[in-house]
Structure 1
Amino acid sequence: MAYIRSARKEDASRLSEIYAPYVVETAITFEYEIPSLAEFEKRIETTKETYPYLVIEENSVVQGYAYASPLKERAAYDWSCELSIYLDKGAKHKGYGRALYEELENKLKSMGILNLYACIGYPIVEDEYLDMNSAKFHAHLGFQKVGHFHSCGYKFNRWYDMIWMEKIIGDHKNKTEC
């Protein structure tokens, strides 16, 4: 049975193992280089200062992770955040992604977050590096496409689009205190 918990600095090595193929073999992330272990540790710790950073384990092995980050670094955006998720190649189609996102959404909602966003690499034409699976996954979870940027990412000697998807998870009432 799968178990979701908060990521720890000690998870950095395993999370890097999960992330590395996305960097080297896909245009799902627009990073060119695999972050160092120290950089991964820093990303976990920095994220956890403000937002949830979750991992999903099965048989004591981390199978994937998801986290939230600021949409923008301005106070007026404090009710919105960006989500990211990565699963081990062998852990896809097991419901782990949905489980991670549902837990992340619950935690963010309890923090007062109202809008969730996902920045997704989007192929002009599907190829061996990028398909529509991420956009379909997010749509299946209730996200809607709200923006499309054309030929804004260059990786593997070709151009890729990027889309933004949004999910509203709370009521937008006037705040009396900001």
Structure 2
Amino acid sequence: MSTITVRDAKIEDAARILEIYAYYVEHTVISFEWDVPSLEEFENRMRDIMKKYPYLVIERDGKIEGYAYAHPFVGRAAYDWSSELTIYLDHDARKGGLGRRLYEELADRLKKMGILNLYACIGYPQVEDEYLTKNSAEFHAHLGFELVGTFHNCGYKFDRWYDMVWMEKIIGEPHAGQPAVKSYSEIKE
């Protein structure tokens, strides 16, 4: 039986995390990035996210099999209670429940921070092809996300146009006098 662990990512994990991400940049439209970032750039991205939000990895028997993190939605103070999520699993580790476990732990941490709304921006094919399927949108729907918008022909990669969908999951109750969102470091203490 495998041992599955979810933990906070460390900068020292960046090389493995980047290895996972590079597959999606080079072979899919799951990421609309065209070029794999350098390790230094990727480490800087991780540091920026970790200033306020959780950045998690999931390990199976001590090997990182995926990662997920939250980041600002839009980036204005009025949107502090909303967060965009990102998740990637090693391309050989999909369909085994790791993504669900990782996302559920991420959502639990975000809820403790005071986040109310979760968003996912997902590449969506008009016709499935070798670069993009509807699996990501289906995964999010299975976890309770609802489709809230479609942007048509807004992403271009591998000489093809793709749609982008936004999905939303409400995890908290908005009200007047809403307390400020805490940083992740505050709820870990």
TM over 0.5, yes or no? Answer: yes
- Secondary structure at the counterpart of residue 91 of structure 1: coil
Picking from 147, 153, 160, the partner of 2:149 is: 147
Picking from 87, 94, 97, the partner of 2:96 is: 94
What is the CA distance between 1:23 and its match in structure 2? 0.3
- 1:110-132, Cα deviation, whole Å (9 max, x unpaired): 00000000000000110000000
- 1:158-178, Cα deviation, whole Å (9 max, x unpaired): 100000000000011112666
Question: CA separation in 1, counterparts of 2:129 and 2:99?
Answer: 23
1:115 partner amino acid = N
Equivalence for 1:163? 165
Contact 2:114/2:179 (<8 A) preserved: no
Picking from 16, 29, 32, the partner of 1:30 is: 32
Picking from 28, 38, 41, the partner of 1:39 is: 41
TM-score, scaled to structure 1: 0.98
Picking from 67, 92, 112, the partner of 1:65 is: 67
Contact 2:6/2:102 (<8 A) preserved: yes
Question: CA separation in 1, counterparts of 2:61 and 2:44?
Answer: 26
- Secondary structure at the counterpart of residue 153 of structure 1: strand
- 1:145-165, Cα deviation, whole Å (9 max, x unpaired): 001000000001010000000
Deviation >6 Å, runs of 4+: none
What is the CA distance between 1:66 and its match in structure 2? 0.2
2:67 partner amino acid = Y
Percent of aligned pairs with the same residue? 62
What is the CA distance between 1:40 and its match in structure 2? 1.1
Equivalence for 2:117? 115
Distance 1:172 1:34, change over 3 A: same
Question: CA separation in 1, counterparts of 2:43 and 2:91?
Answer: 22
- Structure 1 unaligned runs (5+)? none
What is the CA distance between 1:94 and its match in structure 2? 1.3
- 1:75-132, Cα deviation, whole Å (9 max, x unpaired): 0000000000000012111111000000000000000000000000000110000000
Distance 1:83 1:176, change over 3 A: closer
Paired residues in the alignment total 178
Contact 2:55/2:67 (<8 A) preserved: yes
Cα RMSD of the aligned pairs, angstroms, is: 0.9
